[in-house]
Structure 1
Amino acid sequence: MKSNYDHLKESFGTNLKKIRNDKKLSLRALAAKCDLDDSQISKIENATWDVQLSTIFELAKGLEVEPKDLLDFKI
């Protein structure tokens, strides 16, 4: 059975992927813009990696959105 935290990770990852796709960015393009590894972003999108606060800010910078936009999802 999945925990509430697992659902949060899935929702965050789904939202991140939606925003990335809406901006027509590949994993590699986003990774280059925010100085992260594309495999790390993939793991976040697939809810297999615990995202840190600093990473949320880096992702937001790379996506040119506010960090709160990455957290704007239904639980």
Structure 2
Amino acid sequence: MKGNYKGLQESFGTHLKKIRESKGLSLRALASKCDLDDSQISKIENAKWDVQLSTIFELAKGLEVNPKELLDFEL
């Protein structure tokens, strides 16, 4: 798993973006719904930010989904 960490980040970011767009939210709109900056969300979606568990919960709150939905993606 350690060698594929970048792939994990990319898959998570792609999944996050897909959910965000399916909800019709811009980066700025999602950021305003949770305790994050739109640039942080952009970096997560582009696999340039190491997402923490607390961030996943903030994103889930802003997207109005269960946190496990954010972790339900293919590698």
TM-score in terms of structure 2 length: 0.95
Unaligned runs of 5+ in 1: none
Aligned sequence identity (%): 81
Unaligned runs of 5+ in 2: none
Q: What is aligned with 2:58? A: 58
Letter in 2 for 1:17: K
CA RMSD of aligned residues (A): 0.6
* Residue 22 (str. 1) matches residue 22 (str. 2): yes
Which 4+ runs in 1 deviate beyond 2 A?
Answer: none
CA distance in 2, matches of 1:35, 1:52: 13
In the TM superposition, what whole-angstrom CA distance separates every residue of 1:5-42 from its partner, at most 9, and x where no partner exists? Answer: 00000000000000000000000000000020000000
Between the two proteins, the alignment pairs up a number of residues equal to: 73
TM-score in terms of structure 1 length: 0.95
In the TM superposition, what whole-angstrom CA distance separates every residue of 1:43-72 from its partner, at most 9, and x where no partner exists? Answer: 000000000000000000000001011111
